[in-house]
Amino acid sequence: MKKIFLIGNPNVGKSALFSRLTGVHVIASNYPGTTVEYSKGHLRMNGTKTEVIDVPGTYSFKPTSKAEEVATSMMDQAITNNDSIFVNVIDATNMERNLNLTLQLLKKKVPIIIALNFWDETKHVGVHIDVEKLEKLLKVPIISTSAISGEGINRLVTRLKEAKESQFDFNDENRWEEIGNILSQTQTLSHRHHTFFERIEDISIHPLTGIPVAIFILLASFTIIRFIGESLITYLFEPLFNELWAPLVMKISDLLGNSGFLHGLLIGKLVDGQIEFVESLGLLTTGLFVPIGMVLPYVVSFYFALSFLEDSGYLPRLGVLVDNLMHKMGIHGLAIIPMLLGVGCNVPGAMATRILETRREKFIAATLMAIAVPCMAQTAMIFGLVGSHGAIALAAVFGTLFLVWIILGLILNRTVKGESPEIFVEIPPYRMPYFKALFKKLWMRILWFLKEAVPYVLIGVLIVNILYSLGIIEFIGGLTEPLITGIMGLPSDAVGALIVGFLRKDVAVGMLVPLDLTMKEMIIASVVLTMYFPCIATFTVLIKELNTKDMIKASLIMLTTTVTVGGLLNLFL
């Protein structure tokens, strides 16, 4: 068969349908604009493979945003090639607005089949649609589906071959009147009581109640993240590393004779004849323990909580509440989404800056995230360094980062050229997250993290070992002493940690802990390590998402801010 394009308004479930059809998992969330670039996959049916393309959501074929431009140009190309069928995905609970795109699509005279998605929800919201009648009116096949639960997908697949050009005729000038006409014949709305979700809807966007709700939700999420993370460590990762892995590594250590270059590389330094997973700095010890035993449990628990918030539809509402503050920083409220994703790992955070429209917004959001939003690896590092000094030290580090985030945002808003449009975003209805889909998304993000983190930690550990054995770290330490010791008040030994921090922040802990720094030095080291550079993985993604010139600018901002903040902390602490 030909190619299959999935096309429809934003947030109507195209990505969920795409996953259903192809088995290729793409990130789907409950807010508009999750897909900015298209995804491709294959539908296998009766032994044949057909290409399926998930097109970014669009409200019309007159593009007003990047996602809509992508959608429109893909459409036009498919129409010229004349080799595709179009599955128009419609949110059945919001027919009027969705039919606006459908009618424009019918005019294009291409083979169309319609999926009336969110069919299961129509009963709850009191929408009744006469599908047969709608089919007769629009003159294309229509199938009711629930992409998330899988209902109707088989029927859609078997009827794909029935897709056809519509003979429905209307005057495009009167499109909205025509839609009203169609709906009056096919849709009945029944009165019903406000659902539970609608009631929480009201309180979550009113300023008076919305802010307490937001604080409650964030605190609750934080508690859940800690609980799941700590449980994973206590009951899974600690026993795994201490009971199973450590004895095995000790055997290897004995085999290697407890010393020598290879021992140093694989196992690292022994502390009192034992392995110290954080400080030993060998490939098999620190190299594996840091990403898997220390950071991964919190990445898992964090993305579990965040995915839940994403799929519930809460995040755009949070975006509305923080819009005011963020507007003054040159980005609008929806930029809270890449920031929050960045708290897990800056890599998906950097990719999520795509939901912002202009180059200026993306630049500000990416720079702020890379400098002042600590990812889980950085948070693990901060806790590892200053956690033993108690809450005040932690508050000093995170408070400083938060202040830098705001102040730098205000400065960038005044200095960066370009425009930042005001918020203009559809707020999706609250939905109960569908756990099977949520766990798939969580699994994808965990794989992402492992693919990004483990190799770089291993390379980091390798490089540290080589640089140390060649004396290069001491050499650079001497060279950068005026900056590091003179301005920021850190011992020159700390330079090794800063070098490896280019690759991974979490490994740097193991290098700073043995230095016996004071609380003040630990606070400065934590802030500086978080700010001066994201990590090589984020850096590479940012070059792709922004461009080399903007990334050089962002890097200069990072270095200047870091030296300024490090110097100020050294003066005032």
Partner 1 sequence: MDIKDLTQITSGETVRVVEINGGHRFREKVDAIGLRVGSRIIKLSAQILRGPVTIKIGSTKLAIGHSIAKKILVDGKNT
Size of the site for partner 1 (CB under 8 A): 35
433, 307 contact by CB (below 8 A): yes
The CA distance from 296 to 445, in Å, is: 11
Q: Is 320 in the site for partner 1 (CB under 8 A)?
A: yes
Using CB under 8 A, which of the segments 58-66, 290-298, 493-501, 531-539 binds partner 1? 58-66
Using CB under 8 A, which of the segments 33-41, 108-116, 132-140, 417-425 binds partner 1? 417-425
The CA distance from 398 to 400, in Å, is: 5
Cβ 237 to partner 1, closest distance in Å? Answer: 41
The CA distance from 206 to 566, in Å, is: 39
Cβ 232 to partner 1, closest distance in Å? Answer: 36
Q: Is 30 in the site for partner 1 (CB under 8 A)?
A: no
Among 391, 422, 548, 571, binds partner 1 (CB under 8 A): 422
Q: Is 207 in the site for partner 1 (CB under 8 A)?
A: yes
Residues across the chain: 573
The CA distance from 240 to 225, in Å, is: 21
Strands 3-8, 84-91: pairing kind: parallel
Q: Is 176 in the site for partner 1 (CB under 8 A)?
A: yes
Q: Is 425 in the site for partner 1 (CB under 8 A)?
A: yes
Among 56, 141, 293, 319, binds partner 1 (CB under 8 A): 319
Using CB under 8 A, which of the segments 231-239, 291-299, 324-332, 437-445 binds partner 1? 324-332
Residue 296's Cβ-side half-sphere holds a number of Cα atoms within 13 Å equal to 22
292, 257 contact by CB (below 8 A): no
CB nearer partner 1, residue 228 or residue 427: 427
Beta bridge pairs of residue 275: 270
Mark 153-174 as b/e (b = at least 16 C-beta within 10 Å): beebbeebeebeebebeeeeee
Q: Is 431 in the site for partner 1 (CB under 8 A)?
A: no
Q: Is 214 in the site for partner 1 (CB under 8 A)?
A: no
Residue 489: how many CB atoms within 10 A of its CB?
18
The CA distance from 231 to 226, in Å, is: 8
Using CB under 8 A, which of the segments 39-47, 218-226, 426-434, 495-503 binds partner 1? 426-434
Q: Is 62 in the site for partner 1 (CB under 8 A)?
A: yes
Stretch (H or E) spanning 469: helix 435-470
Q: Is 268 in the site for partner 1 (CB under 8 A)?
A: no
Using CB under 8 A, which of the segments 35-43, 138-146, 225-233, 420-428 binds partner 1? 420-428
Q: Is 97 in the site for partner 1 (CB under 8 A)?
A: yes
Stretch (H or E) spanning 6: strand 3-8
Q: Is 123 in the site for partner 1 (CB under 8 A)?
A: no
End-to-end CA distance of the chain: 69
Using CB under 8 A, which of the segments 74-82, 348-356, 424-432, 452-460 binds partner 1? 424-432
Q: Is 47 in the site for partner 1 (CB under 8 A)?
A: no
The CA distance from 261 to 458, in Å, is: 16
Q: Is 93 in the site for partner 1 (CB under 8 A)?
A: yes
Crossing angle for the helix pair 296-312 and 435-470, nearest 10 degrees? 150
Using CB under 8 A, which of the segments 276-284, 300-308, 427-435, 528-536 binds partner 1? 427-435
Q: Is 96 in the site for partner 1 (CB under 8 A)?
A: yes
Tokens for 64, please give them: 């007003």
Strands (E), 34-192: 39-45, 48-54, 84-91, 112-117, 127-129, 142-144, 187-189
Using CB under 8 A, which of the segments 155-163, 342-350, 425-433, 486-494 binds partner 1? 425-433
Q: Is 249 in the site for partner 1 (CB under 8 A)?
A: no
Q: Is 56 in the site for partner 1 (CB under 8 A)?
A: no
Among 69, 76, 83, 202, binds partner 1 (CB under 8 A): 202
Q: Is 316 in the site for partner 1 (CB under 8 A)?
A: yes
Cβ 354 to partner 1, closest distance in Å? Answer: 19
Q: Is 324 in the site for partner 1 (CB under 8 A)?
A: yes
Q: Is 426 in the site for partner 1 (CB under 8 A)?
A: yes
Q: Is 64 in the site for partner 1 (CB under 8 A)?
A: yes
Strands 39-45, 48-54: pairing kind: antiparallel
19, 438 contact by CB (below 8 A): no
Cβ 136 to partner 1, closest distance in Å? Answer: 24
The CA distance from 375 to 449, in Å, is: 11
Q: Virtual CA dihedral for 11, 12, 15, 16, nearest 10 degrees? A: 120
Q: Is 205 in the site for partner 1 (CB under 8 A)?
A: yes
Q: Is 406 in the site for partner 1 (CB under 8 A)?
A: no
Among 261, 424, 439, 443, binds partner 1 (CB under 8 A): 424
Per DSSP, helices labelled H in 313-358 are 315-327, 336-344, 346-352
Cβ 91 to partner 1, closest distance in Å? Answer: 9
Nearest to 218 by CA among 290, 354, 309: 309
Residue 556: how many CB atoms within 10 A of its CB?
10
The CA distance from 286 to 380, in Å, is: 14
Q: Is 174 in the site for partner 1 (CB under 8 A)?
A: no
CB nearer partner 1, residue 97 or residue 107: 97
Residues that bind partner 1 (CB under 8 A): 59-60, 62, 64, 93-94, 96-97, 100-101, 125, 176, 202, 205-207, 210, 316, 319-321, 323-324, 327, 332-333, 421-429
